C-alpha cells in the first residue's frame, strides 16, 4: 500500500496524543455501595479497561489486579455487562473477539456470531410469500439464534487466558447478586421496552419490579443470573450447549412464555438442542490493511466490519486528510463510506455459505479503482452500484444494480482491555435490538437475542444475489468492527463501538480522526459523527447538523438527516513511555468508563 506524505505527522499524532489524569478502579475487597465514578479517560500502568459501564470496567480491572491478563479481564468485563447492560449483551447473545498476543506479535479473532437453526432456509421470515413485519420478527422465538457468547468466552480463555471461567465470572456473579444502581440510560431503555417486557412474566418480574419502571438511583438485583453464572462457572459452558440450561433455552424459544392475557402475537422459533450442541465459536484470521504505515486488523466475515472499514481506509489512503479542510475531510470520508457499503451489500455474507471475495475487497488495486469515483466538487448518487473485486480495474465503471443496506439493531456494547504484558483485546458483543427479543429465559436471568433479524427477510434487490439471506446453521451478516492497530508488530491502539451498521462508520471516523486529524483518542471518540451507508441521506449528529459545514456540504449535493446519537466507542492506546491510556465516551449513552490498574499524572 502507498504511504502518503502525511504518514509521519499522523503517526506522531497518534503516539503522542494528549492525556489527562487517570481513574483507578475501586478496591475489590467489597462491592461498592454506589457505582464507581465514571471517567472518559484514564492513564497509567498495569493494564487498562474501557467500557460503557463503570461496574463492568471495574470488574475487568479487578481481574487484572489479581494477576489476570487482558483476555481474563475482557471476559470478566463482558460478564458484568451482562448484568448492568442486559439490553445490549449477555449469555443469550453473540459477538466478535479480536486479540493481540504480545509474545508472538500476532492478531487472531473469534467469530462468536449466533447461528440460525438447521431447519432455517431463505423463507425463514416469509409468510404466504411475503416478509412478516419487522417488529413481529423482533419479539419472537423466530428471531432467536443459537447464542455464541458463552462459547466465545470459553474459546478465548482456552486459547489465551490465564484464569478459569469460574474465576473470571466471580465479579459479575457478585454484581448480579448484590445489584447495581439504576441510571437514567437504563431507565430510558427500560421505558422504551416497557410494553413488550410487560407481556412476558419473567421479563416483567426482572426489569419492571412491581410492574413499574425502575427508579433512577434504585438497586436492581438479578439473583437468577447470579445462580446461572455460578452454574456456568462450575459446570462450564457445556451446560448452555448440552445441559439443563440448553433445555431451558430451547423450551423458551419453541414455546415463548408470553402472558396469556397479552394480545401480542409471539411466533415460536425452531431452535433445537441439536442446534445448540452443534454450535462452535470459530477461531480465524483477521482482516488486515496497511494505512499510513500502520497495520489495521479487524473481523473477517461473517462480520462485514473488517472488510468495509479496510476498504474505506484503502480508498482514503491516497488522499491527504491531515491538511484538508473540515468540509473536504468529511466529504471524502462520507464518499469512501458510501462506496465501501455499496460493495459490502453485494459481496459479504457468511463465508461458510457464500463465496466472499475478502482478499479482493481488501486489495489496494480494487480500492484505487473505486476511489476514482470520488470528486471534490460533486456527490455520488445513492444507492451506489457495487464494484467487482474480481475485476478491480473496472472499479470506476458506472452501471449495475445497487443493493441497499438492510436494517441492523443498534444496541450492542463494546469493551477494550490491555494488560501489563502488552496483550490487547477489542471485543464487541450484542443481543441485537435494545432488549433483544424481549424474552427472558425463566429462572435464568438473561434475555435471548433477536439476532436472526440481521438477515435479509427477502432479497434487498431481486435483481441482485443477496449474500445475507437465511440458511441452515448460517450466521447473519454483522457490522461489528473490533479493531486493533499495530506499528512494527506492537500495539498502537484498539477500539470498537456499538451501533448496528453505524459501527463501521464510527470506527472508521474515529480511526481517521486519531491517525489523520491528530486528535487524542478520547477526542476522536467524542468528535461529532456522520454516517453514510449507501443511503440517500447521510446521518449527522447535532453538532454537525447545527454546524456551518453542513451548508457547505449541502452545496456540493450532500443530503442529510439528523440522528441524535451515533455509536458509543471505547478504546485503549499504548503511549510511547509504556503507559496505557483508556478512553471512552464523554456523553453518549450517559458517558463511558475508562480505568487503569495504577493511574499516573500527566508528565
Please give the backbone phi and psi of residue 184, each rounded to the nearest 5 degrees, phi first.
-65, -35
DSSP 227-251: HHHHHHHHH-THHHHTSHHHHHHHH
Q: What is the DSSP letter of 36?
A: P
What count of other Cβ atoms lies within 10 Å of the Cβ of residue 123?
Answer: 13
Cβ proximity of 89 and 81 under 8 Å: yes
The pLDDT, as a whole number, for residue 28 is: 36
CB 228 within 8 A of CB 91: yes
- Catalytic residue (choose from 84, 152, 287, 412): 412
- For cell 476522536, name the residue: 524
The dihedral of CA 176, 177, 180, 186: what is its sign? Answer: positive
What dotted CATH number matches 306-408+497-567? 1.10.246.130
Question: Of 162, 61, 51, whose CA–CA distance to 482 is shortest?
Answer: 51
How much is the pLDDT for 30? 43
Q: How far is CA 47 from CA 60, 245, 572, in A?
A: 10, 34, 10
CA dihedral (370, 374, 378, 379) positive or negative: positive
Note the pLDDT of residue 10: 43
- 483 catalytic, yes or no? no
> Mean pLDDT in each 10-residue stretch from start to end of the chain (603 residues)?
37 42 41 72 98 98 98 98 97 98 98 98 95 95 98 98 98 98 96 97 97 96 98 97 97 97 96 98 98 98 98 97 97 98 95 97 96 95 92 69 66 94 98 96 98 92 87 97 98 96 97 98 98 96 98 98 96 96 96 96 51
Please, which residues bridge with residue 426 across strands? 98, 416
pLDDT value, residue 399: 58
State the pLDDT at residue 459. Answer: 86
Residues in a beta bridge with 430: 94, 412
Residue 515 is classified by DSSP as H
State the distance between the two ends of the chain, measured CA to CA, in whole angstroms.
36
Cis check for the bond before 480: say yes or no (omega within 30 of 0). no
The domain locations on the chain are: 42-179+221-284+411-419+446-477, 306-408+497-567
Could you tell me whether strands 126-127 and 106-112 are parallel, antiparallel, or unpaired per DSSP bridges? Answer: unpaired
Place of cell 461473517: 302
Amino acid at each position: 500500500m502507498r504511504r502518503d506524505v502525511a504518514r509521519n505527522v499522523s503517526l506522531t499524532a497518534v503516539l503522542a496524543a494528549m492525556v489527562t489524569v487517570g481513574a483507578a478502579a475501586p478496591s475489590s475487597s467489597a462491592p461498592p455501595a454506589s457505582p464507581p465514578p465514571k471517567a472518559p479517560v484514564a492513564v497509567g500502568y498495569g493494564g487498562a479497561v474501557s467500557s460503557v459501564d463503570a461496574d463492568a470496567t471495574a470488574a475487568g480491572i479487578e481481574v487484572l489486579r489479581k494477576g489476570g491478563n487482558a483476555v481474563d479481564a475482557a471476559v470478566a468485563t463482558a460478564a458484568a455487562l451482562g448484568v448492568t447492560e442486559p439490553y445490549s449483551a449477555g449469555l443469550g447473545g453473540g459477538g466478535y473477539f479480536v486479540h493481540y498476543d504480545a509474545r508472538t506479535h500476532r492478531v487472531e479473532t473469534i467469530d462468536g456470531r449466533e447461528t440460525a437453526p438447521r431447519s432455517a432456509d431463505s423463507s425463514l421470515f416469509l409468510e404466504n410469500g411475503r416478509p412478516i413485519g419487522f417488529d413481529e420478527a423482533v419479539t419472537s422465538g423466530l428471531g432467536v439464534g443459537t447464542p455464541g457468547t458463552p462459547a466465545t468466552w470459553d474459546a478465548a480463555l482456552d486459547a489465551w487466558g490465564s484464569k478459569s471461567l469460574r474465576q473470571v465470572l466471580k465479579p459479575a456473579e457478585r454484581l448480579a447478586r448484590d445489584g447495581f444502581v439504576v441510571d437514567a440510560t437504563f431507565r430510558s431503555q427500560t421505558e422504551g421496552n416497557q410494553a413488550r417486557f410487560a407481556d412476558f412474566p419473567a421479563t416483567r418480574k426482572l426489569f419492571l419490579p412491581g410492574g413499574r419502571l425502575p427508579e433512577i438511583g434504585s438497586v436492581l438485583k438479578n439473583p437468577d443470573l447470579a445462580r446461572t453464572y455460578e452454574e456456568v462457572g462450575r459446570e462450564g459452558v457445556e451446560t448452555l450447549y448440552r445441559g439443563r440450561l440448553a433445555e431451558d433455552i430451547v423450551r423458551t424459544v419453541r414455546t415463548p412464555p408470553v402472558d396469556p392475557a397479552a394480545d401480542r402475537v409471539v411466533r415460536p422459533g425452531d431452535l433445537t438442542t441439536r442446534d445448540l450442541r452443534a454450535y462452535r465459536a470459530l477461531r480465524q484470521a483477521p482482516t488486515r490493511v496497511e494505512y499510513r504505515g500502520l497495520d489495521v486488523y479487524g473481523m473477517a466475515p461473517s462480520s462485514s466490519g473488517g472488510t468495509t472499514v479496510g476498504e474505506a481506509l484503502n480508498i482514503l489512503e491516497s488522499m491527504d486528510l491531515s491538511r484538508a479542510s473540515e468540509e473536504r475531510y468529511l466529504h471524502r470520508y462520507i464518499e469512501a463510506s458510501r462506496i465501501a457499503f455499496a460493495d459490502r451489500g453485494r459481496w459479504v455474507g457468511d463465508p461458510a455459505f457464500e463465496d466472499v471475495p475478502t482478499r479482493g475487497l481488501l486489495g489496494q488495486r480494487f480500492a484505487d479503482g473505486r476511489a476514482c469515483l470520488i470528486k471534490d466538487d460533486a456527490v455520488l448518487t445513492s444507492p451506489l452500484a457495487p464494484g467487482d473485486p474480481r475485476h478491480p480495474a473496472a472499479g470506476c465503471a458506472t452501471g449495475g444494480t445497487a443493493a441497499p443496506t438492510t436494517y441492523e439493531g443498534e444496541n450492542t456494547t463494546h469493551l477494550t482491555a490491555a494488560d501489563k504484558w502488552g496483550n490487547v483485546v477489542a471485543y464487541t458483543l450484542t443481543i441485537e435490538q435494545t432488549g433483544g427479543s424481549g424474552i427472558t429465559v425463566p429462572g435464568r436471568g438473561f434475555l435471548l437475542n433477536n439476532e436472526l433479524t440481521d438477515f435479509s427477510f427477502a432479497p434487498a434487490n431481486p435483481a441482485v444475489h443477496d449474500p445475507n439471506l437465511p440458511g441452515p446453521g448460517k450466521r447473519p451478516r454483522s457490522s461489528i468492527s473490533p479493531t486493533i492497530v499495530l506499528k512494527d508488530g506492537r500495539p498502537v491502539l484498539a477500539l470498537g463501538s456499538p451501533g448496528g451498521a453505524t459501527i463501521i462508520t464510527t470506527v472508521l471516523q474515529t480511526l481517521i480522526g486519531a491517525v489523520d486529524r491528530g486528535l487524542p483518542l478520547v477526542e476522536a471518540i467524542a468528535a461529532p459523527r456522520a454516517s453514510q451507508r449507501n443511503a440517500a441521506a447521510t446521518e449527522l449528529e447535532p453538532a454537525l447538523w447545527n454546524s456551518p459545514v453542513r451548508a457547505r456540504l449541502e452545496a456540493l449535493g450532500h443530503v442529510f438527516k439528523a440522528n441524535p446519537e451515533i455509536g458509543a466507542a471505547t478504546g485503549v492506546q499504548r503511549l510511547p513511555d509504556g503507559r496505557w491510556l483508556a478512553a471512552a465516551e464523554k456523553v453518549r449513552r450517559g458517558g463511558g468508563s475508562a480505568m487503569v490498574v495504577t493511574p499516573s499524572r500527566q508528565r
